[in-house]
Amino acid sequence: MRNGTSLRVLVTAVFTLSACMAQAADPVAQHNSTAFWFVNWFGLSNAELDVVAPNGEMTTVFAASGTPVFELDRGQATDGVYNYELTAATEERVKIVNPQNNGRGDAASDTAAKSFYLTGRFVVSRGVITTPDEMTEEEN
């Protein structure tokens, strides 16, 4: 009886672990002193990274494959909180609920790539991307 219980526990653990491994993890933001990008970049394509500086200037970086990388111009950088928005297409397909005639004829598809969306912020201090203990934005 004990061997049967142990085998069931082992089989359950293996299936649970393999199911967790099959799910793609979300990208994780990384940076050095002048660049901002993402790691854990699996199954995403056509990514667009929009970064808004504290002065309102917006920079868009596109990458058809791989992670988009935002490069900070240290000479022109404004210190403060930078907000970012990342959008990308996943490998997963979803059904188009209200398909339109897009002129593709027989090449038209009733599915589209499922979207991935992530927002966040990082801080620039003295022209360098930093990792503060707690990020706050001053109100003017």
Q: Please write the tens of the pLDDT for every residue from 101-130.
A: 676 777 778 888 999 999 999 999 999 999
Query: Please, is 58 exposed, middle or buried when counting C-beta atoms within 10 Å of its C-beta (0-12, 13-18, 19+)?
Result: exposed
Range of the domain at 94: 24-98+105-130
CATH number at residue 34: 2.60.40
pLDDT at site 108: 78
Interatomic CA distance for residues 29 and 36, integer angstroms: 7
Answer yes or no: is 10 within a domain.
no
Answer yes or no: is 34 within a domain.
yes
What is the tens place of the pLDDT at every residue in 20-53? 444 457 899 999 999 999 998 889 999 999 999 9
Q: Answer yes or no: is pLDDT of 17 > 50.
A: no
Interatomic CA distance for residues 2 and 59, integer angstroms: 62
CA dihedral 56, 61, 66, 70 (to 10 degrees): -50
Q: Model's pTM, two decimal places?
A: 0.71
Answer yes or no: is 3 within a domain.
no
Q: Answer yes or no: is pLDDT of 16 > 90.
A: no
Answer yes or no: is 138 within a domain.
no
pLDDT at site 60: 98
Q: Answer yes or no: is pLDDT of 139 > 70.
A: no
Answer yes or no: is 7 within a domain.
no
- Total domains in the chain come to 1
What is the tens place of the pLDDT at every residue in 45-84? 999 999 999 999 999 999 999 999 999 998 889 999 999 9
Q: Answer yes or no: is pLDDT of 140 > 90.
A: no
Query: How many of the other CB atoms lie within 10 Å of CB of 105?
Result: 7
Rounded mean pLDDT of 3-15?
A: 48
**Cβ atoms of 70 and 34 closer than 8 Å:** no
Positive or negative CA dihedral for 19, 21, 22, 28?
Answer: positive
Positive or negative CA dihedral for 87, 88, 90, 95?
Answer: positive
Bridge pairing between strands 58-65 and 44-52: antiparallel
